[in-house]
Amino acid sequence: MKYDTIIFDLDGTLLDTLEDLMDSLNHALVMHGYEPRTLEQVRQSVGDGVKMLVCRSLPENTTDEEIEKCLSDFTSHYKTNMQNKTRPYNGIKEILYTLKIFKCNVAIVSNKFDSAVKELADYYFPGMIDAAIGESAEVRRKPAPDSIYAAIRRLGSDISKSIFVGDSETDVRTAKNAGIPCIGVTWGFRSRRVLEKEGADYIIDYPTELFSILK
């Protein structure tokens, strides 16, 4: 294969996490007297980490202290409810299984907090993911390239044989910052138009289209 290291975004690429994110966000918002957000509003607010999701869901003049309180309540709720409605997109498990048959290196990098990324990867894709990396004190969130570089190092891979798969403008920018190609997927949280505008190297509508690019 032209690429033997495939690095995936998580939310909106491998897993449809939107409803669980919305439920935990609205739990926190209602606790603090704010209006709940719709699914579409949450869809447009995700992609840059949970703190940004909370910030974008609160009034502009919200204090830092109030933001941190809402974030803490969101995180506590999400940790115990992140597998209620979350599901892999159709065909994802099959392509991950096939990639392992071809002995490819497979990683996940996400702006979700690191412990949640690892737990979701282990729960939904046991034995299929070689490295799972989320935001932490050591790894800046995307579009910084830190998580991609960390995944490549952990896998012992070559950046020239690596490619990134994601669903958002943040993912395209992350790949560009890391100096690797990006495959944009249209089944996630952003539209084809967004991916085209950001300059994704490839855009696919179905998971099985991935293989023609890797070859």
Question: Which residues are catalytic, by number?
Answer: 9
What amino acid occupies position 80?
Answer: T
Residues 171, 184 contacting (CB under 8 angstroms)? yes
Which residues fall within 8 angstroms of residue 192, CB to CB, at 6 or more apart? 184, 186, 203
Phi first, then psi: give them for residue 35, nearest 5 degrees: -70, 140
Please say whether the beta carbons of 111 and 47 come within 8 A: yes
- Of 94, 103, 96, which is closest to residue 155 (Cα–Cα)? 103
Parallel, antiparallel, or unpaired: how do β-strands 15-16 and 5-8 relate?
A: unpaired
Q: Largest alpha-carbon pair distance within the chain?
A: 53
Within 80-187, residue ranges assigned H as helices are 92-101, 114-124, 146-155, 169-178
Burial (0-12, 13-18, 19+ Cβ within 10 Å), 202: middle
Place of tokens 């940790």: 79
